[in-house]
Structure 1
Amino acid sequence: MRTSTSLIALLGAVALFGCSSSETGPEKETPEDQMLEPPAQGAGVQYRMTSTIEPGQEIERCQLFVAPPEGLNVNREVVRYSGGSHHVLLYTTPYTEIPTETRRGVALDASQVHDCNDGPQADWDAKGVVAGSQSPDGNSFLGELPEGVALKVAPGTVLLMNTHYLNASSAPLETDARINLYTIPDEEVKVEAGMLFHYNPFISVPAHGASSARMRCTTEKDISVVRIQSHMHRRGVGYVANKVDLDGEMTALYAHDRWEGVPSQEFSPFLEVKAGESLDYRCDFKNTEDRNIAQGLTTKDEMCMLIGPYFPRSEAYENCASEEGYRASTWFGTGKSTCAEAFSCINSAGDDAAFYGCVVNSCEKVGPQLSEALNCQINGAYGACDEDCSQGAEACNTCILAACADEMEACEAATCD
């Protein structure tokens, strides 16, 4: 049986910033004269990674950099990288100096390119995304922000750059990834921007089957969205994003059927999302393998994300959380299970794929009640059980089940009719 504490542990371990990707071979090379020169002196900074990928090798690599002592006010970003990778990403971290060993206790010089094949979060603490792209020659995440708007990087912040390459050829592949961050002075910054990085952990695709993952995030503040992009792995066959207004009406924003070479949706004028309104997105998957596929950070797993710059910044909403920092997602299934049946399924699930499938296989109508009950347990009854949970699993479970009784009662009453 899955206890409340196991729900907390399972979903608490989901890396909201994880992004491992392609299983394709090298794409066309980006000619050297089309690669980026660094920004002019005083206009920004370039972060660059180069490495050699051996024939037949798939590898994820990382490198840590230190932001300038004056910090960065990023108003524009340009990314270029040689073919063979599905993404290049630049994360912020909580570090103020480059660590001398990984989270797993491995000593290394992280200022140099190094392997991080279990995903960057296995070795380093990543907080959020500054820049990146899923296209070797354009469609970067941040792109260009309006005049006076900037994504801020604190002085001396350690930044983590990450690439994921596959060399399907018979010769070594020389890779080159470059991120240019163009900055503006402090006195020109009128509004701080942020980067949406909404991550749906409830993905389960049966062997030789299909499924969908859908999530809704409601903002507590008025925001303006500049552009959005999707992120899926190779089983992704469809994607749609909508805006939901205060009356529940949905307006289509973005739809496509690509998991690589992903297009971005630009908004001109900017997409205004008012307090109480939501962004709602869905990923459709088709699995041709002989095994079940669940969400995760590697190419053996799947992802369903909505990414994009917006302003003014709401750090909580970037990760689909409340202003108090608690998970606040609403998940909608595409099956026929009631809320009570979904929780019964969760309690008997034998592995992660089955657990995530319990939500995927619930009916759309019970999404709000199921999500409220899950969020109450995942969030430890929104802090009410912090003291009990510090005393062990039994005390934690007893407190959470009592504190979340109203949400569970509403779940029990919710049906698909």
Structure 2
Amino acid sequence: MRTSIVLIALLGAHALAGCTSGDAGDPSPDSDRLESPPPGAGVQYRMVSTVAPGQEIERCKLFVAPPEGLYVNRDEVRFSPGSHHVVLYKTAYREIPAETREGVAVDATEVHDCNSGATAAWEITGVIAGSQSYEGNSFLGELPEGVALRVEPGTVLVMNTHYLNATAAPLEADARVNLYTIPPEQVEQEAGMLFHYNPFIRVPAQGESSARMRCPIAEDISLVRVQSHMHRRGVGFVAHHVRAGGGMEEIYANEAWEQVPVKVFDAPLEVKAGEALDFRCDYENTEPRDVAQGLTTRDEMCMLIGPYFPRRPGVDNCSDEHGVPAETWIGSGAATCADTLACTAAVASNADFFGCVVDSCPGVAEQLAGVLRCQISAGYGACDDACAEGAEAPESPDACAACMADACAAESSACAAAACD
């Protein structure tokens, strides 16, 4: 159980120099070249690498934002076909580290492999820009006049690409992200980027499944555009605006997992405090093995992405004011909350852990999420010391479990009493 809690905490935390990074040459003559913004109008970040035949790889490169910072009003992304995504993240760093979070020494100013994902390798704090479509549909797009996403002065950025070369020849991959800026005095509201990720995915062999998540909105926001993110077993995606009274209004639907369409609202969609965003991914698995959430194309994902304003830090990754996940994960099965917790305690793999939650009934979603949130946050901080790596003394090997049982007693009782109907 301890291993599962650590993994969920990792997933819940997620799922970002100068004028240009384009000094590596251009080995991709057939790509749709994207020129850098004019001087004073923005910056370009670029990655160039070779992907071997049959290779699937995630790669990263780190940059430092200009000393004056950036106020980004628009992005533009182009990359060679064969990539599942290109993302520009921001980090907690103010200088480029010499090793990854995993302790691997690397010259991060150069393109390097990060096949566990950018969020595993680097201390990611948010998303700036990116795209799942080499034809140009990007995450940020164009924000309303006077609205900009802020990149703090000197922030270290991570550019991340995910390529699968299904051909018999080397693929010369060229990815470019343009950030178009406005002067600070023109900024009236700061934008944020919601990057909502549901890790509770398991699709049975030769079967079908769904993954659904709801994020409460604590303060008023306006959504500019939205899009989905799934892998190749994704056959349907739908997102709803949940009104304060519980009514659900469909705001986006899509059946594609690549070349993903973007919904741009004619006028920004107002989501009021006390309302929510709810999204669901539907999957069909033709393989003779179960598929769970993960980073590669052998795995699955379920995400809702889009820029909004004004920025509310908790909205970006769906967390509360303390950084604790605020999501409600809604199962599609028939298991009670108590049965689901018993299931999670008995499983031996993370994929099966995810499956326990997927198999829970929708009626106990709030109570189940309450227990999971308590576990993810180590009893809302009460068990940080007891559950720290290596903290358990030999004479009390169950110190973490005992602390968590006490700290999460109220949530566990509510779960035990919850019924599916």
What's the TM-score, normalizing by structure 1? 0.92
Give the aligned partner of residue 411 of structure 2: 407
Query: 1:316 & 1:309 partners in 2: Cα distance?
Result: 14
Deviation at 1:388, TM superposition (A): 4.5
Structure 1 residue corresponding to 2:116, chosen from 102, 112, 118? 118
State the identity %: 61
Give the aligned partner of residue 167 of structure 1: 165
The answer to whether the aligner puts 1:295 opposite 2:293 as a matched pair is yes
Deviation at 1:16, TM superposition (A): 4.8
Give the aligned partner of residue 25 of structure 2: none
Deviation at 1:285, TM superposition (A): 1.0
Query: 2:115 & 2:382 partners in 1: Cα distance?
Result: 38
Deviation at 1:324, TM superposition (A): 2.0
Give the aligned partner of residue 245 of structure 1: 243
The answer to whether the aligner puts 1:14 opposite 2:18 as a matched pair is no
Cα gap change, 1:178 to 1:15, in 2 (>3 Å)? farther
Query: 1:387 & 1:220 partners in 2: Cα distance?
Result: 30
Query: 1:47 & 1:133 partners in 2: Cα distance?
Result: 14
Deviation at 1:316, TM superposition (A): 1.4
1:222–1:275 Cα contact (<8 Å) kept: yes
Query: 1:378 & 1:121 partners in 2: Cα distance?
Result: 17
Structure 2 residue corresponding to 1:333, chosen from 331, 334, 338? 331
Deviation at 1:17, TM superposition (A): 4.3
Q: Deviations over 1:32-63 (max 9, x none)?
A: 5x421101100000001112223222222211
Give the aligned partner of residue 129 of structure 2: 131
* Structure 1 gap segments, 5+ residues each: 20-28
The answer to whether the aligner puts 1:360 opposite 2:364 as a matched pair is no
Aligned-residue RMSD, C-alpha: 1.9
Give the aligned partner of residue 158 of structure 1: 156
* Structure 2 gap segments, 5+ residues each: 17-27
1:62–1:113 Cα contact (<8 Å) kept: yes
Matches within 5 A, 1:34-45: 34-45=32-43
2:15–2:195 Cα contact (<8 Å) kept: no
Cα gap change, 1:405 to 1:16, in 2 (>3 Å)? closer
The answer to whether the aligner puts 1:65 opposite 2:63 as a matched pair is yes
Deviation at 1:326, TM superposition (A): 1.1
Query: 1:93 & 1:342 partners in 2: Cα distance?
Result: 36
Query: 1:46 & 1:281 partners in 2: Cα distance?
Result: 32
Structure 2 residue corresponding to 1:310, chosen from 308, 311, 317? 308
Deviation at 1:144, TM superposition (A): 0.6
Give the aligned partner of residue 351 of structure 1: 349
3-state secondary structure, aligned to 1:127: strand
Matches within 5 A, 1:47-86: 47-86=45-84
Query: 2:174 & 2:3 partners in 1: Cα distance?
Result: 42
Deviation at 1:109, TM superposition (A): 2.0
Give the aligned partner of residue 399 of structure 2: 395
Deviation at 1:383, TM superposition (A): 2.6
Q: Which has the higher contact order (CA 8 A, sep 6+)?
A: 1
Give the aligned partner of residue 214 of structure 1: 212
Matches within 5 A, 1:88-127: 88-127=86-125
Aligned length: 404
Matches within 5 A, 1:163-202: 163-202=161-200
Cα gap change, 1:105 to 1:7, in 2 (>3 Å)? closer
1:60–1:163 Cα contact (<8 Å) kept: yes
Query: 2:172 & 2:104 partners in 1: Cα distance?
Result: 26
Give the aligned partner of residue 281 of structure 1: 279
Deviation at 1:6, TM superposition (A): 4.1
Structure 1 stretches of 4+ moved >6 Å = none
